[in-house]
Amino acid sequence: MKKLLLAISKGRILEEALKILKLSGIECKESPFKSRKLIFETNYKNLSIIIVRASDVPIYIESGKVDFGVVGKDTLLETDLSNHLRVKDLNIAACRLVVAGKKGAKIMNNMKVATKYPSITKKYFQSKGFPCSVLKLYGSIELASVLGMSDVIVDLVESGQTLKQNGLVEIETIENISSVLIVNKTSYKVNREQINQFFKTLNLGQE
């Protein structure tokens, strides 16, 4: 029987995904929060978990080396890879991907937009009929707007407190985001019975 590999994004998604697994009786033999290991064995037969950056989850799935993963919809929209099936929206790590800026800012033509999501941002602004230039950043996106490096930002928002504390407001919501379980297409064909048994343990069906 094949050793199945499940990739989970670091951070909040990992915390909430592990809770779902625990409810189904599946746990890591060592705490991922207290170890520097990259692969964790579980008490579920032939299942190991790898913990990786969110942006890497679809890439590992696409490679076929990892069978399935838990990742945010924002990451899937940005990477736009296709060699996977979306099995289930797990409704965890819920947030919104929004356009935000200083009070009174409106979406218009040729704006400079700071974001971690250049692909999503360009597509969204083009869909509104407003081409934009993108300043790609990897953290503290709000600061770009505060310092005037960009006209607006595109970023994930949960409560909105970070925006508020930095004098920014939401302008438009691009997408409601949560985390989904995805499976490699080829792996699912080859190991369908074994993977379906795992989904059954989690009480999940393919959508």
157 three-class SS: strand
Residue type (1 letter), 100: A
Query: For domain 4-93+179-201, which architecture applies?
Result: 3-Layer(aba) Sandwich (3.40)
Q: What count of other Cβ atoms lies within 10 Å of the Cβ of residue 62?
A: 16
Q: If pLDDT is split at 50, 70 and 90, which confidence band does 207 have? A: very low
Residues 45-85 have pLDDT tens digits of: 999 999 999 999 999 999 999 999 999 999 999 998 889 99
Two tokens, residue 85: 């099936």
DSSP per-residue letters across 62-94: HHTSS-EEEEEHHHHHHH---SEEEEEE---S-
CATH number for 95-177 (one of 3.40.190.10, 3.40.640.10, 1.10.287.70, 3.40.50.720): it is 3.40.190.10
Per CATH, 4-93+179-201 and 95-177 having the same topology is answered: yes
Residue 58 has φ and ψ, to the nearest 5°, of -60, -30
Residues 181-206 have pLDDT tens digits of: 999 999 999 999 999 999 999 876 54
Distant-in-sequence, close-in-space partners of 32: CB < 8 Å, separation ≥ 6: 14, 18, 40, 49, 51
The predicted pLDDT at position 204 comes to 67
